[in-house]
Amino acid sequence: MRTGMLLILSAAALCGQTEYHIYAGNTHAHTSYTWSHGEHLGKSGCAGILVYARNPVTNVFSWSDGYVKSQTGCAGIFVIDGAQIPAPDTPVKPDWEKFQGPPSKHYSLAKEKGYDFYATTDHSQESAFQPGSDVNPVWLSAKQQAVEATDAKFVALAGFEYSENDGPGGTGHINVINSAGMLNALAHGIDLPYFYRWLSTAKANGEGPVVASFNHPTPEQYNNWAYRDDRVTDVLTMLEVINSNNKIHYEAFVNALDHGWKVAPVCGNDNHGIGGIAKQTSRTFVLATARTKTAILDAMKNRRTYASLDGNLQARYSVNGAVMGSTLKSPKSFQFDIAVSDPDAGEKITKIDIVKDGGAVAQEYKPTPGQSVKWTPTVEDATAKYFFVRVWTERGGDAPGADPSKPVAWLAPVWTGR
């Protein structure tokens, strides 16, 4: 199955003379630079990793189960001065290279499997990135490997994951893509307000903007979506509705929107190894003018994205002629132009709906199931702040546990301007 560009969007239907293509990829992956945990570890049945770190309240170092669900045979991590260091006795598989590799290995395999773009986003607190700086040699190498892997048919993106699990100023993981530098979430004095200020002014790594995504969020994470301002809202434009191929974070998506964050859905496969590149079938899709680094990042920046459990579902919509991801000028009438299709034989679209503030369904449509469906409803609403579209299919997608009674895809909102 080719997950690449399959549809060219009508310029007349969407946005003046702009012609958008649909490209598929992954916005969240960990390489061998995230050495503290991943597929390369020999876990002996352990469900996670023990962490030895300073308690931010008591200021005392102790072991905790920060990453674990069981404590039998677990490896350990020491967190010292913000660096996440594997314990000396951490077991590594003798053939670990079969399970994990540097960014270049991830990119080459993603290219072979038909991804249009692929971001590597290792934890910024990993020991390889210490001391943290714009010129850390491993960070420089990660960015250079992305440059070398990019060609006319594939875009490699370098990023990092800000991973805070116990901060008093709010917790949560956030991916930053295409920044020149990185920020260690576990360094002394760093919390979410500090990170948001840093992100608001972060310099880009060459061409294209800096973009960021909320990762695998719980409904009230990030201190219940606090500390938002217009500057960070302009950079933090995405949210993982799908994580690890089939874990859904829909309630968090709605809560973030209701708190004023202008985020579009993405899928971060969050693979801690190369095995997931072929195995995981869910994708982030972008509506971009070209398959280039600048165009892909521009699509993310301007929220022209959707997340799908189906690896090649083609979807787009406009409202009052403005492409998904746009902000309108406070109209009361909304003319939708929605088109969804799936090139796979026998894969039919069964339902589409339009959702507004608080997760309320504004309208729904159950067509005669078909591989290609178009729907052009009008919604009259004088109070809604946003709308977005969901899609259902007969099989419910390609991921394990597919359920046709649940949505297969979530499309970027359109904000009303209120």
pLDDT of residue 346: 78
Q: Tell me if 153 is assigned to some domain.
A: yes
Check whether residue 251 and residue 108 sit in a common domain: yes
The span from the CA of 16 to the CA of 10, in Å, is 9
Check whether residue 59 and residue 199 sit in a common domain: no
- Single-letter amino acid code for the residue at 6: L
**Interacting residues of 133 by C-beta distance below 8 A, sequence separation 6+:** 139, 181
Q: Tell me if 231 is assigned to some domain.
A: yes
**Interacting residues of 77 by C-beta distance below 8 A, sequence separation 6+:** 36, 37, 49, 50, 51, 52, 53, 67, 84, 85, 86, 87
**Interacting residues of 131 by C-beta distance below 8 A, sequence separation 6+:** none
151 is in which domain, residue-wise?
Answer: 11-33+97-415
Check whether residue 120 and residue 266 sit in a common domain: yes
- Report, as ranges of residue numbers, the positions in the chain whose pLDDT lies below 70: 1-17, 38-39, 41-49, 52, 54, 56, 63, 65-75, 80-82, 86-89, 91, 93, 96
Alpha helices in 85-189 (DSSP H): 103-112, 137-149
**Interacting residues of 338 by C-beta distance below 8 A, sequence separation 6+:** 316, 317, 352, 374, 375, 376, 377, 389
Alpha helices in 191-249 (DSSP H): 192-200, 221-225, 230-233
The span from the CA of 48 to the CA of 330, in Å, is 48
3-state secondary structure of 210: coil
Whether the model clears a pTM of 0.85, i.e. scores above it, the answer is yes
List the Cα angle 285/291/297 in 5-degree steps: 65
Best CA proximity match to 317, nearest among 303, 301, 329, 330: 303
Q: Tell me if 3 is assigned to some domain.
A: no
- The DSSP secondary structure of 288-342, one letter per residue, reads ESSSSHHHHHHHHHTT-EEEESSTT-EEEEEETTEETT-B----SEEEEEEEEE-
Other CB atoms within 10 A of residue 45 CB: 8
Check whether residue 193 and residue 339 sit in a common domain: yes
The span from the CA of 384 to the CA of 399, in Å, is 33
pLDDT of residue 1: 44
Q: Tell me if 110 is assigned to some domain.
A: yes
- Per residue in 288-302, pLDDT (tens digit) is 999 999 999 999 999
3-state secondary structure of 153: coil
Q: Tell me if 303 is assigned to some domain.
A: yes
Q: Tell me if 40 is assigned to some domain.
A: no
Check whether residue 174 and residue 205 sit in a common domain: yes
Which H or E run contains 250?
A: helix 250-258
Check whether residue 159 and residue 179 sit in a common domain: yes
Best CA proximity match to 228, nearest among 174, 185, 159: 174
Check whether residue 22 and residue 75 sit in a common domain: no
Check whether residue 60 and residue 112 sit in a common domain: no
How many separate domains does the chain show?
2
Q: Tell me if 1 is assigned to some domain.
A: no
Q: How distant, in Å, are the alpha carbons of 36, 120, 277, 280 from that of 272?
A: 10, 10, 10, 12
Check whether residue 326 and residue 408 sit in a common domain: yes
**Interacting residues of 307 by C-beta distance below 8 A, sequence separation 6+:** 240, 241, 242, 265, 266, 267, 282, 283, 284, 285, 409, 410
Position of tokens 């579009």?
A: 264
CB 352 within 8 A of CB 339: no
Which residue among 91, 109, 124 closes a domain?
A: 91
pLDDT of residue 146: 98
What is the 8-class DSSP label of residue 129? G
Check whether residue 68 and residue 102 sit in a common domain: no
Q: Tell me if 168 is assigned to some domain.
A: yes
pLDDT of residue 330: 94
pLDDT of residue 161: 96
- Single-letter amino acid code for the residue at 353: D
Check whether residue 137 and residue 77 sit in a common domain: no
Four-point Cα dihedral 281, 283, 288, 293, nearest 10: -90
Check whether residue 253 and residue 133 sit in a common domain: yes
Structure tokens that stand for 29 in this block: 């992956």
- CATH number, residue 173: 3.20.20.140
pLDDT of residue 71: 55
Best CA proximity match to 302, nearest among 275, 282, 322: 322
